[in-house]
Every structure is written in structure tokens, then in C-alpha cells.
Amino acid sequence: MAHKAVMIRGDGTGPELMAAVDKVLRAAGAPIDWIDMPAGEKCLQAGQPIVPDETIEKIREVGVALKGPMTTPVGKGTVSANVTLRKKLDLYACVRPVRAFPGIKTPFEGLDLVIFRENTEDLYAQIEYYVTPTMTLAKKFITVRGSERIARAAFEYARKHKRKKVTCVHKANIMKICDGLFLSTCRRIAQDYPDIEFADNIVDNQCMQLVTKWRLYDVLVTENLYGDILSDLCAGMMGGLGVAPGANYGEKCAVFEAVHGSAPKYTGMNKVNPTALLLSAVMMLEHFGEQKAADRIVAALEDVFIEGRHRTYDLGGSSGTSEFADAIIARL
Ligand code: NAD
């Protein structure tokens, strides 16, 4: 039986990436029944909210969505579509696997870790204002509930996937109250998982350690903003944003999306790498229990990387988005 999933094509390069991913999934025999729903720039231009209520409702009903990247208008007071989805659907756990793929050159051999980023709190509450015309203030909020559930999600994942260590990343030396609460909550949850090592690291030190001692890290659990920044750092370590997937999980819904944005300068050029969105779709297949189709796609993708004849520009090649997808399909 086919699994129902909402498809949001996204802005900029989103629709061409989604078309490439859709054809790979079809070729792999993944049983997905797509429901196309609108969100993003086009909705704004039509005078609608950036994510219309009907799209939110449909995801609630179906429980799963694959989302292309969306453009966020800068400084116009419009809330980001991504933040809207995460908040309205309470997608509190942003999960970003990071690994060195065979065939992709990176100095970070053996890189293999997973970032758990808290998705609903922190400075992303977007509570900021002018105190005076020359002074601004932003509020950061961290709760025990928010910290508990992301910590537990990280430990549960570690146990399920036989990972050995969870590291809490914070800045509790400076943000003693907010980050102090996040750290102490993670420490308390860690006591329920004596089989998994627990460590913590200050975020700046964590960045340095990641590029010097990446093999020491397994699962990282962190707040919203640090998670955002660490994700892009780790994406660079993997070979770039073109290969970094992600997923957002809540109690009732899951939305799968690449780490990267809409790469607007390449819109319509059939140029960007569909790997990140494809691997996000693979995470969706795993969520549905379609492990066989997921494994087939990853094996075919790795074959294409190892063979090295087909690569998009970001990995030093000249294949287009759709040709790269065709190369994967040929391997399937
Ligand atoms: P971006 O991720 O779109 O692009 C950053 C760089 O990475 C660019 O050089 C781009 O060409 C390259 N890149 C991105 N995706 C790629 C891919 N699949 N293959 C190859 N190269 C790729 O980031 P940006 O330029 O800062 O943001 C553009 C828009 O996207 C903004 O409006 C931003 O708010 C939005 N954004 C959306 C999401 C999301 O939808 N989850 C995430 C980040 C940024």
C-alpha cells in the first residue's frame, strides 16, 4: 500500500530538485502517494500567508511531508516558512546526519555523526524589538520541557542506532541561566541512559574540535541557533550543502528537508545537487519503514559518487540536476 505524503516543491531551485528526487523515488519503486501543497514565495505574492492553513492542515492529517527549500524575505517582517512549519506543527527535533560519503573527497575521513537541534525555542522565538531607535533587544527562551524532549530524542536515537556517545553543545559559561538550564536538563536525562556516554562542550570549542577531532563525536544535542550554525559547518565537512540532508520530527508529524536554502541564483538552470533532498527523502522512506527502497537509493547514489563520472558543479563536475538523478536511476 502506498504511503501518503505531502510534497511542498519550494522556491528557487526547489521545484527542479523535487522533480529529480521524485523520479529517483519512482524508479526505486518507493510506494509514495504525493499530495502537492502550496507554500513559499508564490503564496506571499498571491496575498496568502507564507504557509497557508490548508497546507498545515494537510500535513497534520497525513503526518509526513517532503519539503523543498523556501526563500525567506529579508527584513520585511515576514516570518520564515520553515520557522512557521516547525512552530505550527511543533516539530521540535531537527535531525541532521553528517557523514563522509565514499567517492566524495573530504579531509574528514570517517566523519559520521548526527546533530539533534532543538527546533522551537531559543532566539528563534523571534522576540526582538527596538528599545530606542539606536538600541535593539532580542529574547532567548529555553524551557525544561523543550530541553528534556530534545535530549531524550537524542538518547533514544543513540540507543536505537547503537551510537555510543551524546555530547551536549552549549554556551553555559556565558549564558549561565538559559544554557545552564539546557545543560543541566541534558545531564539529568543522561542519567536514564547509563549505557551511553555523556559529555558536554562549549559551542566555540565544539567547532574547533569538529574540524580537528571529528572522530570523537557521535551524537550532538544542542539548542536552536548553535544547531543551525553547526549544521552548516558539518555540511561543509561532508562536501557541501548539496549533500546534507535533514528531518524535523514532532510527536505527530515529520517534515523532511535538506539543510540548504533555495539557492535562488541557480533557479531554472538545472545545476544544483539533488543529493541533499534525495537523502532527506531517504530519511522519509525509513520513517515509513521502507528500508529496502531507502537502502537501494543510497547504494546507487554511492555507486555514482565512487564511479565519479556524474557530478554536479558543487562537487567539481558538470552534470545537471536531472542528469545526476538519471545516473542514480541507471544504477538502481
Ligand atoms: P543557500 O543554501 O540557498 O545557498 C548557499 C550556497 O550553497 C550557495 O552558494 C548555493 O548556490 C549553494 N547551494 C545550496 N544548495 C545547493 C545544492 N543543492 N547544490 C549545490 N549548491 C547548493 O543559502 P542562502 O543563499 O543563504 O539562502 C537562500 C534563501 O534560502 C534565503 O531566502 C534563505 O532564507 C533560504 N533558506 C531556506 C532554508 C530552508 O528552506 N530550509 C534553509 C536555509 C536558507
pLDDT digits (tens, 9 = 90+) for 266-304: 999 999 999 999 999 999 999 999 999 999 999 999 999
Partners of 167 in beta bridges: 199, 220
Strands 219-222 and 197-202: unpaired
- Residue minimizing CA distance to atom 24 of ligand 1: 261
pLDDT at 185: 98
Decide the pairing of beta strands 93-99 and 219-222. unpaired
User: pTM for the whole thing?
Assistant: 0.94
Residue 83 has what pLDDT? 83
Contact 40, 81 (CB under 8 A): yes
* Amino acid of residue 220: L
pLDDT for residue 289 = 95
pLDDT in tens, 183-217: 999 999 999 999 999 999 999 999 999 999 999 99
Residue 228 beta carbon below 6 angstroms from any ligand 1 atom: no
Q: How does strand 247-249 pair with strand 254-257?
A: antiparallel
Give me 293's grid cell.
527502497
Q: What is the DSSP letter of 173?
A: T
pLDDT of residue 143: 97
| pLDDT (0 to 100) of residue 75 | 60
**Could you give the CA distance from residue 161 to residue 195 in angstroms, rounded to a whole number?**
13
Ligand 1 centroid to Cα of residue 104, in Å, is 20
82 lines ligand 1 (CB under 6 A): yes
Residues of the chain with pLDDT under 50: none
Q: Return the best residue to mutate from 260, 269, 301 for the ligand 1 pocket (most ligand atoms within 8 A of CB).
A: 260
* Angle at alpha carbon of residue 80, lines to 77 and 85, rounded to 5°: 135
pLDDT in the model for residue 139: 95
Q: What is the pLDDT of residue 105?
A: 86
**Total residue count of the chain as it appears in this document:** 332
Positions marked active-site: 124, 171, 204, 228
